[in-house]
Chains A and B, each alone.
Chain A
Amino acid sequence: MRVLLVEDDPMIGQVVRDALQDAAYAADWVRNGQAALDALAAQHYDLALLDLGLPGKDGLEVLDTLRARRNLIPVLIITARDALHDRLRGLDAGADDYILKPFDMAELLARMRAVIRRRNGQASPMLDNGVVTLDLATKQACAQDGSPVQLSGREFSLLQALLMRPGAILSRAELEDRLYGWGEEVESNAVEFLIHALRRKLGHDVIRNVRGLGWMVSKHS
């Protein structure tokens, strides 16, 4: 994978490039907008990391020019501007995602992977939050260091709902929505029953209860 890093701050630029190389990316580093456009015109990249506050041509202009040239390279914006309209403006201009300074390299790498995966259209057949993995094809779940377990249809639906957005809290009503079709009669305590079953199969900490609101699975740690 070849990545173009556009960053004018020498300290950040250097450490990000080195970390990218550590993570086995081929990383090129340019320090201003014009150099970025030149590099992108001359060479194929799989992803661009674009700082917004660049000298001369600023990041959003680079992005506009790029999209006007019909260059559809995935772009991840790195910005110190956190005003909402700056972010929206970046996404409107055709960025795939943005990350706010200061950030952790691990988060940047995770987002880069997500952007590339989305762009390549290969939605993973697995859902994973670092604690539990769910195979969408076989309906098998696997806790961190256990063997795969087969889930029932409703158990699968419930765990899938939670794993779609790790870290999000889903209320009982929302979970029931995912479990039952229109007109199907909702059994009382069905959600508790399913969660109890899942915990028995995968370990107690797989699904966490948030008092008064609902349930969640933890986010990638």
Chain B
Amino acid sequence: MDGFKTQLKASLQFRLSFILSAVIVAVAGIAGVFSFFSALDEAHELQDDVLYQIAELMDQQHLVLAPGNASAHLADGDQDSYIIIQRLGPPAAGYRPPPEGALSLPGNLAEGMHTLESRGDTYRVLVKSRPSGERVAIAQETDFRDGIARESALRTLMPFLILVPILLLIIPRLVRRLFQPMAGLSGEIDRRSFEDLSPVPDRHLPTEVRPFVIAINRLLTRLARSRETQRRFVADAAHELRSPMTALSLQAERLGESDLPPSARERLSALRQGIQRGRNLLDQLLSLAKAQSAVDPAITPGPTSIPVLYRRVLEDLIPQAQAKAVDLGVTQVPDIRIQASELDLGAIIRNLVDNAIRYTPVGGRIDLSAREVGDMVELCVSDTGPGIPIPERKRVFDPFYRVLGTEQVGSGLGLAIVRTIVARLGADIDLDFSDVAAETGLKVTIRFRQTPSA
């Protein structure tokens, strides 16, 4: 009962079904009672009319009651449906016992309709004076009349009795059906990716729901605008920082050209490393801002050849790998194309390989591969570094998050950039150990759904 109450309070759909059903039952009840009694009344009137008509008929046809037989019975038919016609004795003639089948009626009954008891039954009796001065009573048993009247009145109830259950069955379904657009709408909004702030389509929606959707769309627009503002702030800040950083790095470089004692040169080298780190961070911040922004229409959306992509990335990063004596190579790369821009895919693979080089110890190995699995394309970067423990795997995608116990000086944005682009491209990213048994090494797999190329 409590569940019912909460449901009644919480669900508009449930409330509507309930109220509609209750109203229908009430209206049907009232209408039923009304029509029952009016039908009953009608039937009685009709039956009285029959008695009047018989009396009229007797007069018009000058029918005379047989003197011996004070009452007339129709021979056939249901005994209850008998109509009794009998002469009423003049009150002055004194009491005469009524003949067999006749009713014992007081002789002084007034003209008109009466309802009288006789022989334990109730009768409807019409008393009429004939032109001959004779008084006649025409009677019928009320039980029978009532039976017929009740039956016909009940028959008028039949449509209600049939329709109400059907309506009660149909209404909840109908209401649910009418609420379908809302369920569909919430489903659609629910299924959206985190990045998708495009307006919800408001066509084909009932006018009652549309204001909500319009309000939601306005909210989405504001949200998109505020996210854009934030993104632009990051981009602008990074841009603005570029100039002082350029000046700083050029000054340090110029300082390196001049004559310096070895100790100063050593410190300058540390300084330049710090500057380099700052430059990397700026670049990564800009990449992240760019990854989060709407797609630049100037960028062609592909297709991008994976072998070409791997080659470009390795051309950039081979020097870095060689400086650390890391064996960076490709194990398997069929000629696959992916429907995405080379800039996006390049940023993904570059960041993954850059991370792998950072975390792989000297003399380690990094493998790139690609393969088609069903209608998916899998790009995979695996290394022989320490890997990422399972509990950390959710958090490593957060900006500036670093796995504990590593003293790497990356920007902390690499995986955040990768995840952002991967989400925008509608792909999936998956982290695992490259050596599952030994729980070492990081293996990053990115799965793209292959769209049939036109």
| Chain A interface residues (CB < 8 Å from chain B) | 9, 11-12, 15-16, 18-19, 22, 80-85, 88, 101-106, 167-169, 171, 208, 210-214, 216, 218-219, 221
Contacts and interface: CB of A to CB of B under 8 A. Distances in A.
B329 A15 contact: no
- Shortest Cβ-Cβ A-B pairs, 3 listed: A211-B329, A212-B330, A11-B247
Interface in B207-249: 239, 242-247, 249
B322 A102 contact: no
B33 interface: no
Contacts of B257: 19, 22
Interface in B238-264: 239, 242-247, 249-251, 253-254, 257
Contacts of B251: 11, 15
A210 B254 contact: no
A171 B279 CA distance: 33
B250 A213 contact: no
Contacts of B246: 9, 12, 80, 101-103
A213 B253 contact: no
A81 B319 CA distance: 26
Contact of B330 (A103, A211, A221): A211
B298 A85 contact: yes
Majority DSSP secondary structure for residues of B touching A: helix
Given A18-B254, A211-B329, A212-B333, A11 B298 contact: no
B242 A80 contact: yes
Contact of A102 (B249, B310, B311): B249
B243 A80 contact: yes
Interface residues of B, number: 36
Nearest to B329: A211
Contacts, number: 97
Report which residue of B245, B311, B330, B333 has the largest number of chain A beta carbons within 10 angstroms of its beta carbon: B311
Report which residue of A16, A22, A85, A102 has the largest number of chain B beta carbons within 10 angstroms of its beta carbon: A102
B170 to A, nearest CB: 60
Majority DSSP secondary structure for residues of A touching B: loop
Given A212-B331, A213-B310, A213-B311, A82 B286 contact: yes
Contacts of B318: 167, 169, 208, 210, 216
A105 B253 contact: yes
Interface in B365-382: 368
A104 B253 contact: yes
A218 B250 contact: no
B349 to A, nearest CB: 13
B247 A9 contact: yes
Nearest to B253: A105
A84 B297 CA distance: 10
A50 to B, nearest CB: 15
Contacts of B327: 211
Report which residue of B243, B244, B329, B343 has the largest number of chain A beta carbons within 10 angstroms of its beta carbon: B243
A210 B299 contact: no
Contact of A22 (B243, B254, B307): B254
Contacts of B243: 9, 11-12, 80, 101
